[in-house]
Amino acid sequence: MDKEAIKVVDFIEDLVIYMAASDVVVTQGYTTLWELAAIAVTFPHHLEQVRFVRAMEARGTAMWIPRIDLSAEILAEKIIKILSDEALATRMSESGRKICRESGARKTAKVILQILKKAI
């Protein structure tokens, strides 16, 4: 793993540029999971985030780390797992793309609404 290739950033205005160049993204929010192979760290009191991320994990698009379990070691383990297993990274990426492609934006919106309704 090339340490020079690792970039940690805060808020990004041009997210799409970074998304296109990223192999792994660690995110707190959940909207980017539709487009990324991601590891999600949710706020425990935001149940809609937890339910959404768990649904994405079940579909093979994301890995979830409960905030209570979060440590540098666990996070590094998940990142290394994705980066060292090209087949896993490809499956995660394709799963996310499949969700978005299934019937275009309308289908994606319906899935999001179903998940959010369960969360409320």
The predicted-structure confidence for 6-33, as pLDDT tens digits, reads as follows 777 777 777 667 776 777 777 665 555 5
Q: What pLDDT, on the 0 to 100 scale, is given for residue 9?
A: 73
Q: What angle do CA 62, 65, 71 make, to 5 degrees?
A: 135
- Global pTM reads 0.56
Q: Where are the domains of the chain?
A: 3-119
pLDDT tens-digit map of 46-103: 677 778 788 888 988 888 888 888 888 998 899 889 889 999 988 988 887 787 676 5
Rounded CA-CA distance 97/94 in Å is 5
Domain 3-119 classified CATH 2.10.109.10? no
